[in-house]
Structure 1
Amino acid sequence: METKHFNNQKQSQDDAALLLQQGEVVAFPTETVYGLGADATNDEAVKKVFAAKGRPADNPLIMTVGEESQLDDYVTVSQPAKTLMKAFWPGSLTIILPIKPGMVSMLVTGGLQTAAVRMPANEVTRSLIKKAGFPIVGPSANLSGKPSPTTAAHVAHDMDGKIAAIVDDGPTQIGVESTVIDLTAKVPTILRTGAVTQEELATALGQEVVDGTSKKALAADQTPKAPGMKYRHYAPDKDVYVFDPLDWFDLQGVLQPSDAVMAEDHLLEQLANKQQPSWSLGQSLQQASENLFAGLRYFDDQAAVDRIYVQAMPDMGLGKAYNNRLAKASGGRLFQGGDRD
């Protein structure tokens, strides 16, 4: 299959919408990461998404809309959900809601009676979905388990020849996937951290919001309510190690020529070996989140690199989402000061 590459202009949106209407798969931009879109009401189209990604069938897909009215036929929107939509949509918040009987494909929900729904902030994508005339599924546009794509080039790396088209609207702004909140639980529960924080959600709802991301991993026979809960995610093929900035000088003492370092500029400026493979995470937490997946992808393609050491961030706000993705990418490997392993 030849993958078409579209820009963000109106004609390209029209062409991409037509492909979606024909049951094809189209990669689209959001403010978080690039997504892989197909008609959420068409089982055959949804199957193509699973095939392109190599995604397990019990891993649910997010239903992405261009406007709230596109949800009316598929899910029951509660008052708390309306409150969150008013506060954070369009934006990087995914809400889990009960589906209306027989209205949502079980391929989308992983066989559950709930669906994860979101309306992204990217105007190109919202326009595309409205032109298509139906909600689309929207998992990240990468091979299952690998680092998420934050540019159209990342999508092409994984998906050229596997999908019908890629809509290019430049690099994403946030760089980590949306926050997922479950409103079908007894207490609103965060199932995936993102740019919308626990504190912001609790304030908007006027009630307690539980962080459920630290709960024990799901068993093999359990179906996750949201992406990222059960299977390995965000992981390059190279070994990734997380380091605390307090261990920076110890880390430099054990770095080998085949080791790559991803860190903020103020640390990279102190690298003793100026030839050490390195990737700038920028000068702030926001920039680090934008640059994380791109750096992991870059070094994963470098034959001369064996290991990737990545700086951890303060575990608050967006830092929770950043550290969550990094922990999954590393499989929990930590650099201990003074010890290479």
Structure 2
Amino acid sequence: MSLPLSDEIDRAAHLLEQGRLVAFPTETVYGLGADAENPAAIARIYAAKGRPSNHPVIVHLAPEADLAYWVSAIPTAAQSLIDAFWPGPLTLILPRAAHIPAAVAGGQNSIGVRCPSHPVAQALLRAFKGGMGGIAAPSANKFGHVSPTLAQHVRDEFADGSVDLILDGGQSEVGIESSILDLSRLHTHGPVLLRPGRITALQLADVLGVAPAAPDAAAPRASGTLEAHYAPQTPVAMVASAALPQVLQQLAAAGRRVVLLHWSDSQHADALQLPSSPAGYAHGLYAGLRVLDAASADVILIEAPPHSADWQAVNDRLRRAAYDSTGILERLL
């Protein structure tokens, strides 16, 4: 995959400066970008995605950008994490600077910021407003759907023409969204992991000197934290490895068409196997769900991954993808 040329990057930056929408690759998933300081442009993101306006988006910054322009405080803990993990798949929730539009934060006093490592994302951020601007960019898909990890996924989602330009940077390396860590309430709650990702709770604890807490009822709203999210159109059911053969047999006896996403050995005909490592599985997860969703099956059966800490982010995405399908096996059988 050849990366976009500099003139295409410049065109994308110009479109953003005009208040238009540009989809671009990051190392996690593709983002749907707009000028983070333009409330009208941010509103176009929400309209294109069908996203609730109180659901905040993440602001992406170039490595050289002035973080202090975007936030009102940079705690020591934040700087330590930035030094350790930026550029990379870590979003920090910090107090929003007063002059930054509330629209980008879903009306909250906090704001999510990150510095992506993908070379196309970095080139775009450096071209946009001389590298000092911020690009608000949730995942480039309709709200609640499976996130895109290829430019074609974005084209499929927005065939309506609501996206002005799509930069193609190949398949996203990580394949699931960034870890989100709330540091906006350190004095009262300490660091709080709102969404797990490639950067694990253990890695964060190694830098912070304390394990991040689980989300609490008063935590800031953040991207991708609703109970139902990342969902294909086909119902999804998670099944433990030991129970798979019996469940597959029962569904076949009931005349149901089943597609299977698995990581261990399986003899099922309509199946897609992902790697048995957390990183490899995450890399192929969303593309795999999209392939299986296109099969028009009665259900996507997913072999439940291990429950160890290094699988936390994958299990988080699968749980949310299956949330609206609770009870589907009972109904099919």
TM score, norm. by length of structure 1 = 0.88
Between the aligned partners of 1:231 and 1:71, the Cα distance in structure 2 is: 31
TM-score by length of structure 2 reads: 0.90
Cα distance in 2 between the residues matched to 1:231 and 1:250:
28
* Residue 205 (1) aligns with residue 205 (2): no
Q: CA-to-partner distance for each residue in 1:91-110, whole Å, 9 max, x for gaps?
A: 11000000122x21111111
* 1:320 alignment partner AA: Q
Deviation beyond 4 Å, 4+ runs, structure 1: 332-341
Report the Cα offset of residue 206 of structure 1.
1.4
CA distance in 1, matches of 2:143, 2:331: 32
Counterpart code for 2:94: L
Mapped to 2, the partners of 1:141 and 1:59 lie a distance apart of 15
Alignment partners' CA distance in 1, 2:233 and 2:329: 24
Q: Distance in 1 between matches of 2:10 and 2:31?
A: 18
The reply on whether 1:278 has 2:271 as its aligned counterpart is yes
Q: 1:45 to 1:88 in 2, by over 3 A?
A: same
Structure 1 residues 187-196 or 70-79, which shifts more?
A: 70-79
SS in 1 for 2:111: strand
Residue 309 of structure 1 corresponds to 301
Give me the whole-angstrom Cα distance separating, in 1, the residues matched to 2:88 and 2:81: 10
Shift of 1:314: 1.7
Q: Kindly state the Cα deviation for residue 249 of structure 1 after the two structures are TM-superposed.
A: 2.1
**Which residue pairs with 1:148 in the alignment?**
147
After superposition, what is the alpha-carbon deviation per residue over 1:111-152, rounded to whole angstroms, capped at 9, x for unaligned? 111000011110210110111021010100000010101111
Offset from partner CA, 1:147-176 (integer Å, 9 cap, x none): 101111111100131110111111111111
Contact 1:250 1:338 survives alignment (8 Å) = no
Deviation at 1:238, TM superposition (A): 1.2
Q: How does 1:50-199 map to 2 (within 5 A)?
A: 50-75=46-71, 76-101=73-98, 103-133=99-129, 134-160=133-159, 161-185=161-185, 186-199=189-202
Pairwise CA distance, 1:177: 0.5
Alignment equivalent of 1:292, drawn from 267, 285, 288: 285
Change in Cα spacing, 1:191 to 1:129, as seen in structure 2 (3 Å) is: same
How far is 1:20 from its partner?
A: 0.9
1:31 and 2:30 are equivalent in the alignment: no
Kindly provide the CA deviation profile for residues 9-58 of structure 1, in whole angstroms up to 9, marking residues without a partner as x: 22221111111111110001011111111000011111111111000000
Q: Offset at 1:244?
A: 1.4
Which residue of the partner structure matches residue 331 of structure 1?
323
Aligned partner of residue 260 in structure 2, secondary structure: strand
Q: Note closer, same or farther for the CA distance 1:207–1:121 as it changes in structure 2 (3 Å cut).
A: same
How far, CA to CA, are the matches of 2:331 and 2:38 in structure 1? 52
Matched-pair contact (CA < 8 Å) for 1:175–1:292:
yes
1:335/1:94 Cα in 2 relative to 1: closer, same or farther (>3 Å)?
same
Q: Distance in 2 between matches of 1:196 and 1:301?
A: 31
Is the Cα–Cα contact under 8 Å of residues 60 and 134 in structure 2 kept in the other structure?
Answer: yes
1:230-269 to 2 correspondences below 5 Å = 230=226, 232-256=228-252, 258-264=257-263, 266-268=264-266
CA contact (8 A) 2:261 2:271 kept: yes
Aligned to 1:3: none
Q: Which whole-Å CA distance do the structure 2 matches of 1:65 and 1:183 have between them?
A: 18
What runs of 5+ residues in structure 2 fail to find an aligned partner? none
**Counterparts in 2 of 1:42 and 1:337: CA distance versus 1, 3 Å:** closer
> Does the Cα contact within 8 Å between 1:241 and 1:309 map onto a contact in 2?
yes
Q: Which has the higher helix share?
A: 2
CA–CA distance in structure 1, aligned partners of residues 179 and 170 of structure 2: 22
- Provide the secondary structure at the position in 2 that maps to 1:267: coil
SS in 2 for 1:69: coil
Distance in structure 1 (CA, Å) of the matches to 2:315 and 2:223: 17
Cα distance, 1:337 vs structure 2? 11
Measure how far apart 1:300 and its partner are.
2.2
Q: Following TM superposition, by how much is the alpha carbon of 1:195 offset from its aligned partner in structure 2, in angstroms? A: 0.8
- The AA in structure 2 aligned to 1:84 is L
